[in-house]
Amino acid sequence: MGYLLLILGIALWIGGHLFKRLVPAKRAAMGDKGKGLVAVALLAAIVLMVIGYRSAALVTVWVPPSFMIHISNLLVLIGFWFFALSGVAGTMSARVRHKQLTGVKSWAVGHLLVNGDLASILLFGGMLFWAVLSVILINKAEPTWERPANPSVKNDAIAFGVALVLYGIVALIHTWLGYYPFPVGGA
């Protein structure tokens, strides 16, 4: 049952996000009421993914080498940094169009490197698929991009500081849930 809920959650997440890209006229016809409906669908998707992931039977597909933990942690931190960059005009903001989707891709790849079980591959692979597909669809629909004005290295540093704080909070939550994100014994 866990895998079914996980897959339904991923499908609902992807469908909810791509709804306006794939059928823009139908989404526009729904008006503001459609925003609420999509928000409820996305919240339901998160709940389904969490419940499905946590209850899915362990099926090991591959065993990642321990050194991947370091690479994974770096990619997750970079993912948080790109998310933070979406709110400030840093020099990286002026170079990367889809900062939040780039953050999701970095986060997903980082998790795929250290989780070789089927549920993780479905969850993080599904999120990676969604982020890549979203970038393609957005770029196709809106081929031009206006870069942020007045990018600042200072804002890059501020965004990185925000990313470090968020990373620390998420690491604490992972630890609380029983998933210690840092190598033990210098692995």
For 184, the 3-state DSSP assignment is: coil
Q: Are residues 125 and 34 in the same domain?
A: no
Q: Could you tell me if 127 and 117 lie in one domain?
A: yes
The answer on 187 and 124 residing in a single domain is yes
Mean pLDDT of 6-23: 93
- 24 lies in the same domain as 82: no
- What is the C-alpha separation between 76 and 107, in angstroms, rounded? 5
Domain boundary among 10, 38, 57: 57
pLDDT value of position 70: 92
CA distance 10 to 34: 20
Q: Does residue 38 sit in the same domain as residue 98? A: no
Please report where in the chains the tokens 């419940």 appear, as a residue.
51
Asked whether residue 132 falls in the same domain as residue 73, the answer is yes
Question: What was the pLDDT predicted at 187?
Answer: 46
Q: Is the pTM of this model over 0.85?
A: yes
pLDDT of residue 25: 81
Confidence tier at 23 by pLDDT (50, 70, 90): confident
Task: List Cβ neighbours of 56 (8 Å cut-off, separation of 6 or more).
Answer: 2, 3, 6, 118, 119
Distance between CA atoms of 76 and 164, rounded to whole angstroms? Answer: 10
115-131: pLDDT as tens digits: 999 999 999 999 999 99
Q: Which pLDDT tens digit goes with each residue over 72-123?
A: 999 999 999 999 999 888 898 889 999 999 999 999 999 999 999 999 999 9
- Looking at residue 184, its pLDDT comes to 67
The total number of structural domains that make up the chain: 2
Is residue 62 domain-shared with residue 81, that is, in the same domain?
yes
Same domain, 133 and 122: yes
37: containing domain: 1-57
Do residue 102 and residue 153 come from a single domain?
Answer: yes
The answer on 63 and 42 residing in a single domain is no
Averaged pLDDT, 11-27: 89
Per-residue pLDDT reduced to its tens digit, 57-74: 999 999 999 889 999 999
Whether residues 10 and 69 fall in one domain: no
What are the tens digits of pLDDT across the range 153-177?
A: 999 999 999 999 999 999 999 899 8
- Specify whether 89 is located in the same domain as 49: no
Q: 153 near 90, Cβ under 8 Å? A: yes
d(CA 68, CA 49): 24
